Chain A
Amino acid sequence: MTIRTRVSALVAALVLASGADAQQIRSINSYGVPGLIDMPSAQMQPDAELTTSLTLLSNGVGRGQIAFQLLPRLQAVFRYATLPDFLNVGGGEFERTYDRSFDLRFQLLKEGRYRPAVTVGLQDFGGTSIYAAEYLVATKSFGDFTVTGGLGWGRFATRGGFGNPLGAISDRFDDRPPVDVGEGGQVQSGQLFRGDAALFGGVQYQWSDRLILKAEYSSDAYVVEEDRGIIDQRTPINVGFDYALRPGVRLGGYILNGAEAGLTLQFTLNPKRSTFGSGVEARPQPVTLRPDRSANPAVWDTAWTQDGVTPVVTRARLVDDLDDEGLEVVATKIDGNRAEIHFRNPRYTTNAQAIGRAARRATAILPASVETFVLVPLNARGLSGTAVILRRSDIEALENSPNGTAEILAVAGRVDAATLDRTGLVVQPDAFPRFNWSLGPYVSLSTFDPDNPARIDLGAQLFGSYEPVQGVLFEGAIRQRIVGNRDESTRRSESELTRVRTDTNLFARTDGPFLQFATANYLWRPGRNLYARVSGGYLEEQFGGISTELLWKRDGSPLAIGVEYNRVRQRDFDKRLGFQDIDATTAFVTGYYNHGNGFHSQLSIGQYLAGDRGATYELAREFSNGWRVSAYATKTNVSSEDFGEGSFDRGIRITVPFSWVLGTQTQTSSSLLIQPILRDGGARLNLRNRLYPMVREQSAPDLTDDWGRFWR
């Protein structure tokens, strides 16, 4: 890696904004979506764009937003906002409030030569609805000018409102009922596109490659904020600018209603773009060609299988050479014309690349008579999935073929490794026992606490794992918090349910060393297409007990089905060895489905920690490079009132692979779970070693979807 790319890697890691193409990224409004200042436009961000933005106003209002371009025409937004002196606490007193909200935007029409783009949007369509608005907006570019005009409802119809045109369809659109907040979290479907409508619009001017000037007429009268004295508007006209600081980083400034100054900082990331393209890891070793058979018949015979030395030396060389590629040979089975190599892949983000590297190395080591390679990648826990069978002559012939990736896939065979005959399989003497450990820092993050947007603990962690034989795993981690503020949460649980998660802040108060987890596990393949796990011990930070799981997953099938059963007891708040009196039994049937094009669904039905029963649905968009953005929601037989604030459990998960940031191959990734609020309903165990995420990439369709990296 050159110095320049290293510097770029660090910058990318620090600002999380690498590789962005400034020409494609849209300037955003103060709500984090493409737009003017407060008003939205009909533009969309590039597909898969992850836009993080922070808006600050001079009156103390702040908004943080994460927007994801789920599809080229569909954008979803999560927002966390704070407003000073807004929450009515009685007696004419108002306090600062914190509020979470979601938006959805769908582009009905893309911009054409003569046609504007048209987008319909729902802003803050659930919960307290502080920012609730709907809009239909059109945007058209004319050279350096971009003109936007729209029709708004809700908050965007509080200035210059007129009778709702949708009233011509039905009278029910004429009036907008008051918000029924309840416990929050409910979609305010009775409000959408109801009541008065109003017009808004504006224009952007592209002053230079980096600078955009903006002006708009806003149809938002800030009615409640005016009442609270948070803003004193003087004009409906807002003006501002937007400046590209560097690719992927933009700074906007504006004057709002002639009353307040505002700043918006925008960071963009896109899994489809990377500073390092396909990666800067070392080139692969070339395929070693065998000598011509007719000219060197002796080299091709199989007498070596009987000499007692060659097989041993061959195994040793396989271990050494695959180790140079970061692959760990666990077992081999080599005969005159076939070699089976079982190896762990702790380095490459795709099994296809690991298989490709192993195959090329094997051509340099295995005697010429060995024509069939059976490559069995194992996951981090030693479980096998699909074995890939390659003809050596195909590897030799297709190495440099222009369409070699598709051609080698077309001739590769795949079988379930559980069906392979283990007779003659030689397990490497040093493969077991395995002992791994690390001492290093850890971070525990609690996001979007209703009282504080981010609470963080930082400390030291000692991790260890021990595998005496294949499939048996003991692992645990001891932590010591050094600094942080997660213990400062004083929220007392008032949950109507068994307090399986709402006492999380009490777990965060332990001062001394604590056991993060400590488990004994057995993982195995009970048969064709089946994977199994049994775990026992301190399963996670708050619960200990036993956990069992069985997964059916067939190579090539987009569907997998898992069942799990867990019997647990809540741990003591000090997270040492003791337990409290709360017992729980959870059990689920889960269906996993790969829709193709990177979209994955997961539906779990069963019983949750608090004894409630229901279902969790998660939709994820994934990328072969390890990026993953997903949203989930859980609805159980707990009523909204009993569930408490938020009404039901939901959240967003974002996973960023370090290989994408650094450009080198590493399986390390960073995940962020954003849960608007943590309650007891719909709560599940945070288990390590769940089977589906662990094994799914070892078989098709994931294995073949990632095949592009075979020759990399």
Chain B
Amino acid sequence: MQPLRKTLAALALTVLAACGNQQESNTLLVAGQAAFDVLRPGGRTPPPDARQVLSPALIAQSDTSALLVVQLDQNQGFTVIPEAANRGTVQWRSGDDRGLLRRDGIIVGTRGFGHDLYTADVAALDAAFDAGGAADALRVNRFLTPEGKIDTVDMICAVRLTGTETLNIYGKLKRTRVFEEDCRAGGGDFVNRYWVEANGTVRKSIERISPELGAFEITRLTE
């Protein structure tokens, strides 16, 4: 047997034979397990896209609030349901233990996506919806860096009412005002869009999470 083949065979045998209750201390096993998770049969099967299974009937049967979230850069849709509310911030969770935090229908945090939005101060944006727009709405986004530090980005954004639109949310028509939050001139590099109903409900939005994650399109399916 060639040395390389012998080595690979030995490695495979020792990894396959691995056992015990403290395997996480073995770096080769941790690396091997990560590789196995990807390469095993079925390991590459993509999760179903929520948009493929959602229907008006399914939504009507839901006994809880739900949002459809589409990660636009990956064109992947999933749903989230509310888990808890604390002082106006609602925590939503997905089926695979990722999380979304929203305040007044605006995203103020994500968890478990990698390059998450850690927190966002968007009080001025919500006030701008009520006022029909604002020229200088302060937005403070905070990101948790790979180093574990908080990176704070202050932006002054122009909030403009651009028109009205009637949305068809799986058969239900929702009349909305459309706002643009343009942060390009005030320290940011993005434009968010919000479809807001007369009662203040944000029915739909396209919001930039982070430069790496891009934007999420969020649609309120219920209520």
User: Which residues of A are at the interface with B, using a C-beta cutoff of 8 A?
Assistant: 2-7, 9-10, 13-14, 19, 271-284, 286-289, 346, 350, 396-397, 399-406, 435-443, 458-461, 463, 465, 482-483, 623-625, 658, 660-663, 666-670, 706, 708-709, 711-712
Bound Cα distance A217, B42 (Å) = 55
- B163 interface residue (CB < 8 Å to A): no
A-B contact pairs, 26 of them (CB 8 A): A3-B43, A274-B146, A276-B146, A277-B115, A277-B116, A277-B145, A278-B115, A278-B143, A280-B113, A282-B97, A282-B98, A284-B111, A396-B86, A402-B108, A436-B22, A438-B22, A441-B11, A441-B15, A441-B26, A441-B29, A441-B32, A465-B22, A483-B6, A662-B30, A670-B27, A708-B149
Q: Of B45, B74, B98, which one neighbours A283 at CB under 8 angstroms?
A: B98
By a CB distance below 8 angstroms, the chain B residues around A663 are 114
Majority secondary structure, B binding face: mixed
Tell me the bound Cα distance from A289 to B115 in angstroms.
28
Given A438-B19, A460-B17, are A277 and B212 also a contact pair (CB < 8 Å)? yes
Give CA–CA (A288, B39) in the complex, Å: 39
Task: Report the bound CA distance from A459 to B88 in whole Å.
Answer: 57
B11-24 near A? 1/0 per residue, CB < 8 Å: 10011011111111
The answer to the question of B38 belonging to the interface, with a C-beta cut-off of 8 Å to chain A, is yes
CB < 8 Å neighbour of B86 from A7, A276, A400, A441: A400
Residues of A within 8 A of B34 (CB): 6, 9-10, 13, 661-662
CB distance from B15 to the nearest CB of A (A): 6
- Given contacts A403-B121, A625-B148, A658-B31, 11 further A-B pairs with CB under 8 A are A10-B39, A13-B31, A13-B35, A277-B114, A283-B112, A399-B89, A402-B142, A440-B15, A441-B14, A441-B18, A458-B10
A435 to B22, CA, bound (A): 9
Residue of B nearest to A442 (CB): B28
Question: Considering the chains assembled together, what is the distance between the CA atoms of A459 and B6 in angstroms?
Answer: 12
Decide if B101 is an interface residue (CB 8 Å cutoff).
yes
Contact A2 B86, beta carbon cutoff 8 Å: no
Known: A277-B116, A404-B119, A669-B27. Is A458-B38 also a contact (CB below 8 A)? no
The answer to whether B7 has its CB under 8 Å from any CB of chain A is yes
A-B pair count, CB < 8 Å, reads 216
Which residues of chain B have C-beta atoms less than 8 A from A670's C-beta?
Answer: 27
Task: Report how far A668 CA is from B127 CA in the complex, Å.
Answer: 47
Residues of B within 8 A of A (CB-CB), count: 72
Q: Name B's A-contacting residues (CB within 8 A).
A: 3, 6-7, 10-11, 14-15, 17-32, 34-35, 37-39, 43-47, 74, 76, 83-84, 86-89, 91, 93, 97-99, 101, 103, 108-109, 111-116, 118-121, 140, 142-150, 210, 212
Query: What chain A residues lie within 8 Å of B28 (beta carbons)?
Result: 440-443
Tell me how far the C-beta of A706 lies from the nearest C-beta in chain B, rounded to whole angstroms: 5
A282 touches B112 (CB 8 A): yes
A709: which B residues are within 8 A, CB to CB?
144, 148
| Complex partner residue of B114 from A276, A397, A658, CB under 8 angstroms | A276
Q: Which of these, A13, A286, A399, A625, contacts B83 with CB under 8 Å? A: A286
Residue numbers in A under 8 Å from B14 (CB-CB): 440-441, 458-460, 482
Min CB distance, B87 to chain A, in Å?
Answer: 6
